[in-house]
Amino acid sequence: MEKKVSLKSIYVPSGDVVAREVQGEFIIIPVASGITEEEDEIFSLNETGKAVWERLDGGKTLQDVISGLCVEFEAAPEEIKEDVLGLSKELLKRRMLVEKDRS
């Protein structure tokens, strides 16, 4: 079942992946098994993906991330929200992000 993304939640990079910038490309390398569908795969994030990923530091809700991006980028808030939600959904599905346990 697909997990619902909440603006009030805090999401953090999973310990099962490592994000690195290599030769100007922002890539996510699976450390543990089960992240990729095929063997021998990595992931590359585009500029939007990178900007969002770098703000997922464990201290911000998705709403905080969106607000921060709205200040930094000249784009309509609705567009930014759509981007952040879209990316988060994609990364959660791939187990690259996990929801931070606030208990």
Partner 1 sequence: MKKTEAESYSERISLPEFSLWERMKEKRNLVSFDLEITARCNNNCRHCYINLPQEDKAAQQRELSAGQINKIADEAVSLGAFWCLISGGEPLLRKDFFEIYLGLKKRGLLVSVFTNAGLITDKHIRLFKSYPPRDIEVSVYGVTKETYERVSRKPGSFNHFIRGLNLLLDSGIRVRLKAMALRSNVGELPEIARFCRQKTKDYFRFDPFLHLRFDRDTRRNAEIKSERLSDQEITAIERADSQRLGVLRDRCDKLIMPQREHSSCGHLFHCGAGQGSFTVSYDGLFRLCSSLWQEDCIYDLKKGSLGEAWDDFVPRVRQRHSDNREFLEKCQNCPIINLCLWCPAHSHLESGRLDEPVDYFCKVAHSRKDMLA
Chain positions contacting partner 1, by CB under 8 A:
18-20, 22-23, 25, 27-33, 36-49, 51-52, 69, 73, 75, 79-80, 83, 86-87, 90-91, 94, 96
Nearest residue (CB) to partner 1, 10 versus 26: 26
Give the tokens for residue 57: 């530091």
Q: At closest approach, how far in Å is the CB of 9 from partner 1?
A: 18
Does residue 38 sit in helix, strand or coil? Answer: coil
Query: Residue 81: phi, psi to the nearest 5?
Result: -60, -40
Q: CB-wise, 74 or 101, nearer to partner 1?
A: 74
Nearest distance from C-beta of residue 2 to partner 1, angstroms: 16
CB of 46 to partner 1, least distance (A): 4
Residues 45, 31 contacting (CB under 8 angstroms): no
Radius of gyration of the chain (CA): 14
Which of 61, 86 has the CB closer to partner 1?
86
Distance from C-alpha of 10 to C-alpha of 58, rounded to nearest angstrom: 6
